[in-house]
Amino acid sequence: MIRLESSSVPTWAIAPEVGTLDQRGRTFSLVVIGDPGSRHLPAARAIAEAWTAQLAARPAGAVVHRELPAEAAVAVLTADLHRALVGHRILLTGTARDCLAVRAAVLAAGAEDDEVVIGVVDATERTVWCVHCAATTVTTAALEGETSCSGCSRRLVVHPHVSRRTGHHLGYMADAEEQPWSWPEPRA
Amino acid sequence: MAGTTGMSGSVRERLRLVVVALDDSVPGIRSLVLADAGGAPLPPFTPGSHVVLEVPAGPPGSARPRPTANAYSLTGENAHPLDYRISVLRAREGGGSAWVHDLAVGDRVTALGPRSGFAPVQRAAKHLLLGAGIGVTPLVSHLRSAVRWGRDAELVHLHRSGAGAHAADLAELAARGARVTTVTDRESFTALLDDLLRTQPFGTHLYCCGPAGFMELVTAAAARSGWPASRVHTESFGVEALDPGAPFQVAVAGRTVEVPAGTSLLEALEDAGLAVPNLCRQGVCGECRVSVTVPEGGRLVHRDLYLDDDEKRAGRCAMACVSRALPTSGAAADLEVHL
Ligand code: FES
């Protein structure tokens, strides 16, 4: 059973959910995360617009609004936080998988949980990190569902645990307890 | 006496100490150096930790008819302490602080601790330390440790004009690179505060210690300046800092006892004729610990400085002098107490 209150998986990584904006913030980095042409962009832009409307009374320059793929978002946010002052907030919207990945970078850059607001438009895909070979696999498997590892081809159970450091779900071999453990055959 | 009664949780060390030096140079404030009575090294501590001094009862008919205990922040070296340093403001006549002010070099004292409830956040990019009056004491050890490890730290001390507590320590740490500002009136502090809170690098954590009014001033200014709760840490001692709470009911020894707002669980049990061992009556010594069961849908609010976070989360015991239960809807009692 998944017990959400004790799980490291945020509720927004299980089903789409839009976080509440903290009006006490003085400055904001707002990023719509997604590759150009992604079918999720329109929904993410709508969330961003709703946030922008709530912050309309702020002085010019208080909200920096961008639209970027996840990797580029990580780079600009890391640079933002390097220059930012306490009072800054990070607003991220996009798919759960992208939000998890970018959140991980933002936390690594020194943000606290209550400085990051997430708006998720789709939570069907997740990245699973294999404990056996350390490869990552993008899958639509549900929590505690199974997927095949892109690195070692093992059947992995998607464990309800997300690393804060990487944003990846933990995956380990299905029936790991019942099977004698052995190294995989080297792949051709 | 102090310590555990066989319930879950770690045993706190009880230390036999001797007063080796006294400093009364700041009016109303006494600084003490305490060493192990047997000459042994003392346990290391996290910056911001306190020890709990056991205060014996005064003579019959005095203002202190029963023994008590007070918590004092440790201000000295924390990693390999050869002694423990504390500073005590003389408060109410006849109270624990007056007893400390009457101690002489060579006197023996018993302490419990050290306990950490106000630790620096390791990942902080910078530590901003704001203290008022004697509330600077836990921040002195924060600043000392930051200087030693080369961490970015800045301290602002608000105190009445004249010598402030630990002025010499702070001057020495400033000479070693720490930023220290001293302010002697509230207006200047208020004028400086918003600016200070709006210019801190992202990643800064704020630590605040002082009288209730000072802490309210700082936490309100921090919220106004956009600080999230996770970056603001406060330390307060004493029951005055606790709100009276809502009334709740406990099931104990086959009966139901009402705990009114403003009355502690300990007082309510005593009024019902149920004895609970106690000493400090302010949540620092652990003596009044009782086993409890929180009913389905109930919640325990600990408020003590004795239990660690794991023990608090487990919710199997409470400090009767400060802990309360939130009123539940439906349950027969809001908390079960097992004496
Ligand atoms: S009597 Fe000391 S903690 Fe309650």
Query: CATH number of the domain that B299 lies in?
Result: 3.10.20.30
pLDDT recorded at residue B314: 93
The share of chain A scoring above pLDDT 90, in percent, equals 87
SS3 state at B219: helix
Using CA coordinates, name the residue in chain B closest to A27.
Answer: B226
Ligand 1: residues with CB < 6 A are B 278-281, 283-288, 304, 306, 319, 321
B216 CA to centre of ligand 1 in angstroms = 26
Average pLDDT of the residues in B191-215: 95
B314 CA to centre of ligand 1 in angstroms = 19
Using a CB cutoff of 8 Å and minimum separation of 24, what contacts does B307-313 make?
A: B307/B9, B308/B9, B308/B10, B311/B8, B311/B9
pLDDT recorded at residue A174: 85
Window from A48-57, B110-119, B133-142 with minimum mean pLDDT: B110-119
Q: Report CB contact under 8 Å: A112, B228.
A: yes
Which of B304, B216, B202 has its CA nearest to residue A106?
B202
Q: Where are the beta strands (DSSP E) in chain A?
A: 27-33, 63-68, 88-95, 116-122, 126-130, 136-139, 146-148, 155-162, 169-173
Binding-face residues of B in 18-47 toward A, CB within 8 A: none
Q: What is the pLDDT of residues B171-189, one digit of tens each?
A: 999 999 999 999 999 999 9
B279 & B212 share domain = no
B111 & B130 share domain = no
Binding-face residues of A in 76-95 toward B, CB within 8 A: 81-82, 84-89
What b-and-e string marks burial along A91-120, b requiring 16 or more CB atoms within 10 Å of the CB? Answer: bbbbbbbbbbbbbbbbbebbbbeebbbbbb
- Is residue B223 assigned to a domain? yes
Q: What token pair was written down for B4?
A: 């555990």
pLDDT recorded at residue A54: 96
Average pLDDT of the residues in B321-333: 89
Q: Which domain holds residue B73?
A: 14-115
- The domain limits of chain A are 4-122, 126-176
B132 & B227 share domain = yes
List the CATH number of the domain containing B74: 2.40.30.10
More confident residue, B137 or B5: B137
Which of B265, B333, B260, B329 has its CA nearest to residue B294?
B333
- Is residue B55 assigned to a domain? yes
- Is residue B6 assigned to a domain? no
Which among B123, B199, B229 has CB closest to A85?
B199
pLDDT recorded at residue A5: 45
Which option is the CATH number for A4-122: 1.10.10, 3.30.750, 3.30.1560, 3.40.50?
Answer: 3.40.50
- Is residue B7 assigned to a domain? no
Contact B101, B92 (CB under 8 A): no
Q: What is the pLDDT of residues A90-109, one digit of tens each?
A: 999 999 999 999 999 999 99
pLDDT recorded at residue B8: 36
- Is residue B2 assigned to a domain? no
Q: Whole-number mean pLDDT of chain A? A: 91
Which of B83, B91, B1 has its CA nearest to residue B45?
B83
Among B207, B235, B263, give the residue marking a domain's end.
B235
- Is residue B316 assigned to a domain? yes
Closest approach of chain B CAs to the CA of A77, in angstroms?
12
Angle at B279 between CA B276 and CA B283, to 5 degrees: 90
How many separate domains does chain B show? 3
Answer whether B200 touches A (CB < 8 Å).
yes
pLDDT-based confidence at A2, cuts 50/70/90? very low
Binding-face residues of B in 211-250 toward A, CB within 8 A: 223-231
pLDDT-based confidence at A124, cuts 50/70/90? very high
Average pLDDT of the residues in B139-163: 94
Answer whether A158 touches B (CB < 8 Å).
no
Which residue has 């029951």 as its token pair? Answer: B239
Among B235, B268, B286, give the residue marking a domain's end.
B235
pLDDT recorded at residue B60: 85
Among B82, B115, B148, give the residue marking a domain's end.
B115
Window from A33-42, B212-221, B240-249 with minimum mean pLDDT: B240-249
Q: Report CB contact under 8 Å: B223, A22.
A: no
Supply the pTM of this predicted model: 0.88
Which among B198, B204, B226 has CB closest to A25?
B226
For residue A60, with 0-12 CB atoms within 10 Å meaning exposed, 13-18 middle and 19 or more buried, which class applies?
exposed
- Is residue B241 assigned to a domain? no
Cα atoms in the 13 Å half-sphere on the side-chain side of B280: 28
- Is residue B27 assigned to a domain? yes
Q: What is the pLDDT of residues B300-324, one digit of tens each?
A: 999 998 998 889 999 999 999 999 9
Q: What is the pLDDT of residues B234-292, one digit of tens each?
A: 987 666 668 899 999 999 999 999 999 999 999 999 999 999 999 999 999 999 999 99
B109 & B138 share domain = no
Q: ipTM value of the model?
A: 0.87
B41 CA to centre of ligand 1 in angstroms = 27
List the CATH number of the domain containing B212: 3.40.50.80
B100 CA to centre of ligand 1 in angstroms = 19
In a mutational test of the A interface, the residue from B202, B204, B233 whose CB has the highest number of chain A CBs within 10 Å is: B202
Q: What is the pLDDT of residues B28-60, one digit of tens each?
A: 999 999 999 999 999 999 999 999 999 999 888
Which among B201, B225, B229 has CB closest to A114?
B229
The share of chain B scoring above pLDDT 70, in percent, equals 95
